[in-house]
Amino acid sequence: MTLLVYAPLWIEARTVAPGLPRARVVHSGMGPLRAHSAAASLWQEAGPDDPVAVIGFGGALRPGLRPGDVVVASEVRGGDRVVACPTAPVLAAELRRLGMTVHIGPVLTVDAVVRRKDDRAALAETGAIAIDMESAAFLDLVGDRPRAVVRVIVDGPDRPLVSPATVRTGFHARRVLARAATALQTWADACAPRSIRLAGPRSFCAGVERAIAVVEAALKQYGAPVYVRKQIVHNIHVVRDLEERGAVFVDEVSEAPDGSTLVFSAHGVAPQVRDEAAARGLDVIDATCPLVSKVHAEARRFAARGDTIVLIGHRGHEEVEGTTGEAPDQVVLVESVDGVAALDVPDPDRVSYLMQTTLAVDESHDIVGALRERFPNLHGPSSDDICYATTNRQAAVREVARASDIVLVVGSGNSSNSRRLVELASRECGEAYLIDDEHDILPGYLAGRRTVGLSAGASAPPALVERVVDTLAGFGPIERLEHNVVTESVEFSLPKEVSR
């Protein structure tokens, strides 16, 4: 596939051409009419999937955009036409990786240079962040081809096109434009038809749905603010969304004001935390996942027997801290098979083990094997502590990874179960990345990869997966393949303090 690039002015075309070795760069002058006629002749030669781009200088509408900043169009508007550019987040990620200051938003195509500040302010009211004179006209007949618009800012509301600083800012903007062209080539190299293999189950588990529902119900019943100790679930999108609706996330009980409502997160808390909240007289609502509560109950049972409890988990994780708090003098943490050899216990015949619910299934079973070898009378939980959601998501991502060139896992960096999915997928197919959303995808992940596996951790909203699919579809035709290894039907009721 050949990248077709429209750089309206000769100076723009000459600046970007060295960075676009696999592109056809055309320029036929400024303005929508010239852009439209250039497009009309190009589309006759272009293939239906050839990527298309407009690159050049542009004017800022949004205050705060500075000369040399790069605008990537989320859509271009002209007349009553709007052309969406769904791959904008990925191109922007590549530009940022190269060190540029990047803004994503609508670009408005106008018929003439806008010189008056008032006129710019009026155009900014439309929500567009930058203006040019060609993009909408050039992309008018683009069809389903992958498309991108990159504009390097040279003027803005407080900097007219011709001013004493024009020469200096012009040189700077030209250097940025040259570098932006290399990112555009990388973007184009990612354009291709591909298959998207979706792992099922993926995204929210029953425990996460319950925890979010608890905060929503508390906000409805008690009104904002509702305080939540720690992130309710480990996902930045969920946290931001609840913050916007009135949740206030705090690290410790002491940060919740007297008389406030405090929610404990899905990961569970140590008894000492409960005691502190009770002593303060706070209205507590416990959103601990029932499957985490089960592990706490086992910890109490084993501790009552006088056992040393080997907790298999990750140091510093909130769930591990909460479980350890049930019997701090008897719990020892083990993170790997090597850690088993280093254990020093008072009575090898009184040892039991528990697990963090979100561990890698294979690795933790290896650790249990090593424990059994060292402590033949080892006691374990009545049923596996690794929860159904973790187990199912790992099985699904394994199947998908085996048939994919690369796997993307939607989830936040502090999500244990999401990180385990990435590790597992990486072992199976050689390359996997954790992404919070489509803005974390680099075009280099996609170049040469025709099959992309996609999953999401138990704390990642399903809508994010759809956003990633829509973004990938912007790089060329996609075939969407669902790989459902099991259908989940687990549901947990809400705590008595709240109702749906």
- Residue 184 to residue 412: CA distance in whole angstroms: 27
In this structure, what DSSP letter does residue 494 have?
Answer: P
- Structure tokens, 14: 């000459």
Report the nearest approach of ligand SF4 to the CB of residue 235 (Å).
Answer: 11
For residue 10, which phi and psi values (nearest 5 degrees)? -55, -45
Question: Which CB, 107 or 208, lies closer to ligand SF4?
Answer: 208
C-beta separation of 267 from 387 below 8 A:
no
Select 331 or 387, whichever has its Cβ closest to ligand SF4.
387
Comparison of 323 and 417: residue with beta carbon closer to ligand SF4: 417
Q: Which position among 12, 94, 134, 319 bears the catalytic label? A: 319
- Beta-carbon contacts of residue 200 (< 8 Å; ≥ 6 apart): 396, 482, 483, 484, 485
180 vs 208, which CB is nearer to ligand SF4? 208
One-letter-per-residue 3-state SS of 184-232: HHHHHHCCCCEEEEEEECCCCCHHHHHHHHHHHHHHHHHCCCEEEECCC
From CA 106, how far away is CA 120, in angstroms rounded?
Answer: 14
**Nearby residues of 80 by Cβ (< 8 Å), 6 or more positions away:** none
Rounded Cα–Cα distance for residues 355 and 256 (Å): 31
> Catalytic annotation on 482?
no
> CB-wise, 308 or 390, nearer to ligand SF4?
390
Q: For residue 457, how many C-alpha atoms fall within 13 Å in the half-sphere facing its CB?
A: 32
What's the sign of the alpha-carbon dihedral 284, 289, 291, 295?
A: negative
In the complex, which residues of this chain contact ligand SF4 (CB under 6 A)?
Answer: 205-208, 266, 289, 291-292, 357-358, 387, 389-390, 417, 458
Q: How far is the CB of 64 from ligand SF4 (least distance, A)?
A: 40
Q: CB of 411: closest distance to ligand SF4 in angstroms?
A: 11
Distance of closest approach, residue 388 Cβ to ligand SF4, in angstroms? 7
Question: Which residues lie closer than 8 Å to 219 by C-beta, 6 or more apart?
Answer: 226, 242, 245, 246, 247
Toward ligand SF4, which CB reaches closer, 397 or 429?
397
Active site residues: 319
